[in-house]
Structure 1
Amino acid sequence: MKFVSTTVLALSTAALVVQAAQKQPSVCSQDITGTGQGDLDAIKGCKQYQGTITVSNAAGSELVLEGVETVTGSVIITDTSALSRFSAPNLKSVSGELKITQHLGLVKLELPALSEVQQLTLRVLPEVEAIDFPAGLAKVNQVTIDDTPVATVNGLTFDTVSKLTLSQNTLMKRFELPASRVSESLLVVGNSNELDFEAPQLIELQAAEFRQVGSINMPSVSHVEGDLSFHDSDMTSLHLDNLERVGGTMVIANNNHITDMSFKKLELVGGALSIANNSQLTTIKGYPSLSAVHGTVDLAGGFDKYELPALQDVRGGMRIQTTNENFSCMDAEKTLKYGSVVKGTVWGCQSNMQEENMEPAVGQNDGSSTSSDNGSNLLPKKQNAGSGAHEEDVAENKSSAAAAGLTASFHYPSAMVFIVALLYGSLF
């Protein structure tokens, strides 16, 4: 009996020791926050690491995350001004975010084995020589590359991505997006004016904004569910000949070198269509199939004519502003307004305008387009007599006319209709 009791006691003690050990965090399964190479050396025996690895304000010039192949968590290397090299030679996948930011002296960034990461953030790396993924980055949900001097990014092989942001990479000359689908947003802004953006496989976009690009090649894009905009770029042409539908607002503004646009299959714009201040664009054309715009149509620039041969249904208002004296507002009004193409209550057309009198078009100034624009603020500024102005708006009552901010001069017989509408509103 004494032997049995001793055995039971020994087993109980062993169980307690095991239980206590299990309660202690393993070196391979805990969040760590370190300040140098020693913290990374402590986990180099962990092929699989469960937890978040954070290193900030490290004093050394090099950091090497050796031995770790997969991280269930995030890897965050940040705010290390002395760091000149970061290497993760064995790292294949990160289930959370790989974030490398705020390293003013980082020259070498080495990720030779990385093929999968949930979120990749590379930001404020003004000295980094290259961003390469030799193993092929095949799976990623979000990508942000911001404020780097790299000319391109190599080794991207993923087929889908949720968000892609390229911004302030002022020396970037070429970027190739391998994906066929971007499910949330594509933002390409503030990079080199010579940037060639290539997306030969891209078919579906949720929303996209491009600023300061040299050229855009997206020959396969067929649907954009949200907004699509192109601003302040040096591209000379814009061809999206497979694009059939834009669900939100489409803006093409302030592109001073563009002379040619082509959207051969585009049939529907679900929000506003705004084409404004593209100074070399003398004719608005390239939309042979566009039949419906569910928001407003806002055209501004120096063009002498427009060609929208299939347009039958503009559900918002319409405004045309041009500095060209040869543009005929009378013909446009006859075709678009009195031909019942424009269904909204707001109509405005002026030719031979002074540029300083032109109102900003929808989404022109800040790029923040809105699909719900109803055209209530589309009227151009009033011109001096003899300027070629021709504007009108027929309101149902006095309050709606005031809400629309109508300051235009009206021409008979439209003015008579407008006065009758105002009197009717005041009586009832």
Structure 2
Amino acid sequence: MRLSSRFYLFTSFTAWSVVIAGATPAVCGAPEYIIETQNDLDVLSNCQVVNGSIIMNTSSATSLNFNRIETITGDLIIRNNNYLASVALTSISSVGGELRFEKLTRLASVYAPQLANVGQLTMRILPNLQGIRFDKGIKKAHKLTIEDTQLSTLAGISLNTTDTMVIVNNNYLREVDMPYLESVESKFYVSYNAREISVTLPRLKTVGDMTIQRVAHLQLSNLEEVKGFLGFLNSTLQDISCPNITRIGQSLFFIGNQELTSLNFKQLESIGGTFMIANSAALAQIKGYDKLKTVAGSIDFTGNFSSVELPKLRDVKGGLNIQTTSSDFTCPFRQSDGIIKGKSFVCRGSVDNPRQSKESSFDDDDFDELLGNGTIKGSKNSTSPVKQSGAAKVDSRPFRLVTFFLVLVSGFAHLL
């Protein structure tokens, strides 16, 4: 519904009539309100509850103030504006649908001191956004996407549970601190933010798929179950510790973590897909898997390590590929012991150029077709220098390799 002066008179009369009659809050109902200016928004100034959605698709407005509105039952979408510098959601406490700020190239601040609940929070392609004021704290959101901003912190966003959390291409973001987050049902991705970023999730117990990429500090001490895959890529982490995790539903992989020296997954018993470690030059020993019994896919380790310790491992349904440059390496498996069920069996040291299994080979076109717009490696529309500039470029080929491999092996491990 496009707002007009005639609608303004009707809405004002209706809203104030309700207030005078003593029935509050004043409710304005229409499936959709289309706004272009602050004057359009002022038409709703007497509405405490908007029973519908408010949408700004294109505009030249430089600021927006949502006045007395407290609740929006539908979506609040503001996008495609090259002039908008600030948005004030002064009284809004709840957005039942999606709260979306997208492609607002000059937006510098969002002020929402009362906001606590949103159905979905999306902040994408906001290259000048440095400040968000969620003073009360957003505690409920089914999906959170923060992409291509100048935010240095997510203070004010403190979820307990969510379905999806994607935080990518924020070059100034130095921390993701979610002290009360306990579960992520579907996907958790942190990738291509500030190189020194710290990810702190002290209460997280369960997650669907989780990818941690280019991270310096990590806290996952209470993680117990990963229903999908778990991956750590191109990070400067020296230690990766998930001491309470017992099960990973799909694959576990460590790729391109050049400073990694130790792993602690001492309670892990099963991996539902492939177990891969590659391009982690400082990792001298592969250990910390005291209770690992089964791997439903393959094992693929390449690097400079001198030993592999998997003392309880009894069943690998896929193949084995262990290659290391170390001359001190002794293979802990024998093809005749029956642990490795797959057809391929490579396990040796003193290898000049350790290679990952041929089963994971593919080209870039295959990868691009597989991932579509490539959420983890960056959006097509992203303005992030990480994607466009060579100065901050991170080698994505290990991630290309492992992503294709994971999808392939997860579906066909039983055929190996």
Relative to the length of structure 1, the TM-score reads 0.78
AA at the equivalent of 2:171:
T
Show CA shifts across 1:121-156 (max 9, x none): 001111112233211212110000001111111123
Correspondence for 1:321 = 323
Which of 351, 354, 357 is equivalent to 1:353? 351
Quote the RMSD (CA, aligned, Å): 2.1
- Output the CA distance in 2 between the equivalents of 1:291 and 1:231: 25
| 1:312 matches 2:314 | yes
How much has 1:359 moved relative to structure 2? Answer: 5.0
Closer, same or farther: CA 301–230 of 1 in aligned 2, 3 Å = same
Closer, same or farther: CA 103–275 of 1 in aligned 2, 3 Å = same
| 1:341 matches 2:335 | no
Correspondence for 1:88 = 89
Closer, same or farther: CA 317–75 of 1 in aligned 2, 3 Å = same
- Output the CA distance in 2 between the equivalents of 1:230 and 1:30: 43
TM alignment of 1:29-178, pairs within 5 A: 29-177=30-178, 178=180
- Output the CA distance in 1 between the equivalents of 2:412 and 2:325: 24
Kept in 2: contact 1:296–1:375 (CA 8 A): no
- Output the CA distance in 1 between the equivalents of 2:327 and 2:138: 54
Mean CA deviation greater in 295-304 or 343-352: 343-352
| 1:275 matches 2:277 | yes
Show CA shifts across 1:330-385 (max 9, x none): x43xx342222212222112432233755578594424123235398xxxxxxxxx
Kept in 2: contact 1:234–1:258 (CA 8 A): yes
AA at the equivalent of 2:230:
L
Kept in 2: contact 1:28–1:43 (CA 8 A): no
Show CA shifts across 1:23-61 (max 9, x none): xxx954241212111111111111110121111332231
- Any idea what SS the aligned residue of 2:39 has? helix
Kept in 2: contact 1:317–1:375 (CA 8 A): no
| 1:372 matches 2:411 | yes
Larger CA Rg, structure 1 vs 2: 1
Query: What is the aligned length?
Result: 349
Closer, same or farther: CA 85–306 of 1 in aligned 2, 3 Å = same
Kept in 1: contact 2:300–2:356 (CA 8 A): no
How much has 1:295 moved relative to structure 2? Answer: 1.1
Kept in 1: contact 2:317–2:414 (CA 8 A): no
Instruction: List alignment gaps of at least 5 residues for structure 2.
Output: 1-26, 361-396
- Any idea what SS the aligned residue of 1:374 has? helix
Which of 298, 301, 313 is equivalent to 1:296? 298
Mean CA deviation greater in 307-316 or 129-138: 129-138
- Output the CA distance in 2 between the equivalents of 1:292 and 1:266: 10
- Output the CA distance in 2 between the equivalents of 1:38 and 1:358: 61
AA at the equivalent of 2:196:
E
How much has 1:292 moved relative to structure 2? Answer: 1.1
Answer 1 or 2: higher relative contact order, Cα 8 Å, separation at least 6: 2
Mean CA deviation greater in 251-260 or 53-62: 53-62
Kept in 1: contact 2:302–2:354 (CA 8 A): no
Correspondence for 1:219 = 221
Closer, same or farther: CA 101–281 of 1 in aligned 2, 3 Å = same
Identity within the alignment, %: 28
- Output the CA distance in 1 between the equivalents of 2:209 and 2:137: 26
Closer, same or farther: CA 119–214 of 1 in aligned 2, 3 Å = same
AA at the equivalent of 1:268:
S
- Output the CA distance in 2 between the equivalents of 1:266 and 1:46: 54
Kept in 2: contact 1:31–1:52 (CA 8 A): yes
Kept in 2: contact 1:282–1:304 (CA 8 A): yes
Correspondence for 2:207 = 205
AA at the equivalent of 1:175:
V
How much has 1:296 moved relative to structure 2? Answer: 0.7
Kept in 1: contact 2:270–2:294 (CA 8 A): yes
Mean CA deviation greater in 77-86 or 361-370: 361-370
- Output the CA distance in 2 between the equivalents of 1:69 and 1:277: 52
How much has 1:111 moved relative to structure 2? Answer: 1.0
Mean CA deviation greater in 361-370 or 144-153: 361-370
- Output the CA distance in 1 between the equivalents of 2:143 and 2:226: 19
- Any idea what SS the aligned residue of 1:372 has? helix
- Output the CA distance in 1 between the equivalents of 2:326 and 2:206: 37
Kept in 1: contact 2:28–2:49 (CA 8 A): no
- Any idea what SS the aligned residue of 1:40 has? helix
AA at the equivalent of 1:106:
L
TM alignment of 1:348-427, pairs within 5 A: 348-355=346-353, 359=357, 364-366=398-400, 367-368=402-403, 369-370=406-407, 371-374=410-413
Correspondence for 2:236 = 234
Kept in 2: contact 1:32–1:53 (CA 8 A): yes
AA at the equivalent of 2:346:
G
- Output the CA distance in 1 between the equivalents of 2:69 and 2:358: 54
- Output the CA distance in 2 between the equivalents of 1:67 and 1:364: 51
Relative to the length of structure 2, the TM-score reads 0.80
Kept in 1: contact 2:184–2:206 (CA 8 A): yes
Instruction: List alignment gaps of at least 5 residues for structure 1.
Output: 1-25, 377-403, 405-428
Show CA shifts across 1:41-89 (max 9, x none): 1111111101211113322311111111111110011011111111110
AA at the equivalent of 2:69:
V
